[in-house]
Amino acid sequence: MPAAPWQPSALTAEPLVQLVDHAGQRRVDDVSAPYEPLARALDADALRTFYRDMTLTRRFDEESTSLQRQGELALFTQSKGQEAAQIGSAHAMRPQDWAFPAYREHGVLLVRGVPLRQELHLFRGIDHGGWDTEQHRVHLNTLVIGSHALHATGYAMGMSRDGLVGTGDPTKDEATVVYFGDGATSQGDVSEAFNFAAVNQAPIVFFCQNNQWAISVPGELQYRGPLSRRGEGFGVPGVRVDGNDALAVYAVTKTALDKARAGGGPTLIEAVTFRRGAHTTSDDPTRYRSETEEKYWAERDPIDRIVALLKAEGAWSDSFAARVQAEGDEFADELRTYVRSLGRPDPMTMFDNVYTTPHAINEAEREWMRQYDASFKKGGSR
């Protein structure tokens, strides 16, 4: 009898690092044992911080989605369900490390101190990115699928050439984390990044959030082999981790980053998670996903899991939950007020800062846009 086909969405399809199951109980097996001490080192305050950051990230997701529905944003990319993958990995970074996000890594930005309201500049059309990348060491969002894997690899190679890798000084050694989804692994840019990173022993962690869907395309139609092994042919070792288990994600990412900073080269992490919302506010996942699938992953929600863990270990209290709820309410109020104060951007600003010197095509497009916009002021209609 032929073997059952390999299923990309099955948690048991490949060895998986999991330290807390979906009922909130700690577990250890042969695969997860090397990472267990790192998770054990997280005290109750650290676990409560994970919960707080995951909760605020989801609140940001919900409020931004509402703002888009009210016409305040042109588009929004939801991250609901992926909070553990983002918060766990971001907390494994050191201040001097760099993150290269795609476009739904709101939790990573939160942990790195980026004011999330500034991320909404892009989705409102105010500018191409609203935060100081040098201050937070977070590159601007990249909406072109997979291209930033090469940017991040090049940046990591620069770290090596600047002597910022393998010195043994924990305040000096640096590494880069680049975030992308399962759909991006089909892009040539990502494969090229694997090769450059391996050949140059670049201090980089490729962090793939396998959320099961590339817009409306399921994993079964994207690839026929484990994503965690995708880098092996290039010389990039991989690890598969439960992406809804914040502790396991933290421990796996910290291990990979420590190796990278020490000069051990790149690692690919496949965080198996699930996008509970839409790909963007432009699509409707009920058109292509089943209720059974959504129910299965709802029972494995990452925030519910860490709440169960905190309760099981006596680190939960109603007063703590109320404080986080109040912080979320204040955060949401400020976000709404800020976004509504931004007004309508001048469309001509899109041509600014494209080139450092005058460019004929850019100037021609600017003039066409000026005449087009002026036509409405003469009585035309949109």
Based on the fold, state whether residues 371 and 309 are members of the same structural domain.
no
Cα gap 244→233, rounded to integer Å: 27
- Does the CA dihedral 145-291-24-53 come out positive or negative? positive
Query: Residue 334: which domain range?
Result: 33-341
* Residue 13, phi then psi, degrees to nearest 5: -65, -30
Q: Domain total for the chain?
A: 2
Based on the fold, state whether residues 191 and 282 are members of the same structural domain.
yes
Residue 123 lies in a domain: yes
Q: What is the DSSP letter of 297?
A: H
**What SS3 state is found at 29?**
coil
Based on the fold, state whether residues 249 and 365 are members of the same structural domain.
no
139: annotated active-site residue: no
DSSP notation for 353-377? TS-SS--HHHHHHHHHHHHHHHHHH
Q: What is the DSSP letter of 344?
A: P
Based on the fold, state whether residues 302 and 374 are members of the same structural domain.
no
Helix (H) or strand (E) holding 177: strand 176-181
Cα gap 20→41, rounded to integer Å: 14
Based on the fold, state whether residues 300 and 325 are members of the same structural domain.
yes
Residue 12 lies in a domain: no
Q: Which position among 288, 296, 355, 372 bears the catalytic label?
A: 288
* Residue 204, phi then psi, degrees to nearest 5: -140, 145
Residue 5 lies in a domain: no
Based on the fold, state whether residues 182 and 108 are members of the same structural domain.
yes
Based on the fold, state whether residues 372 and 307 are members of the same structural domain.
no
Based on the fold, state whether residues 246 and 302 are members of the same structural domain.
yes
Residue 306 lies in a domain: yes
**What SS3 state is found at 296?**
helix
275: annotated active-site residue: yes
Residue 165 lies in a domain: yes
Residue 47 lies in a domain: yes
Helices (H) and strands (E) in the chain, counts: 13, 7
Residue 228 lies in a domain: yes
Q: Are 14 and 240 in contact (CB under 8 A)?
A: yes
Based on the fold, state whether residues 262 and 145 are members of the same structural domain.
yes
**Residue 7 zone, left/alpha/beta (φ > 0; ψ -120 to 50; rest):** beta
Residue 13 lies in a domain: no
Based on the fold, state whether residues 234 and 168 are members of the same structural domain.
yes
Based on the fold, state whether residues 367 and 318 are members of the same structural domain.
no
What confidence score (pLDDT) does residue 350 get? 84
Tens place of pLDDT for every residue, the chain, 382 residues? 445 555 656 666 789 999 999 999 999 999 999 999 999 999 999 999 999 999 999 999 999 999 999 999 999 999 999 999 999 999 999 999 999 999 999 999 999 999 999 999 999 988 877 799 999 999 999 999 999 999 999 999 999 999 999 999 999 999 999 999 999 999 999 999 999 999 999 999 999 999 999 999 998 899 888 999 999 999 999 999 999 999 999 999 999 999 999 999 999 999 999 999 999 999 999 999 999 999 999 999 999 999 999 999 999 999 999 999 999 999 999 999 999 999 888 888 888 888 999 999 999 999 999 999 888 876 555 5
Based on the fold, state whether residues 104 and 239 are members of the same structural domain.
yes
pTM (2 decimals)? 0.93
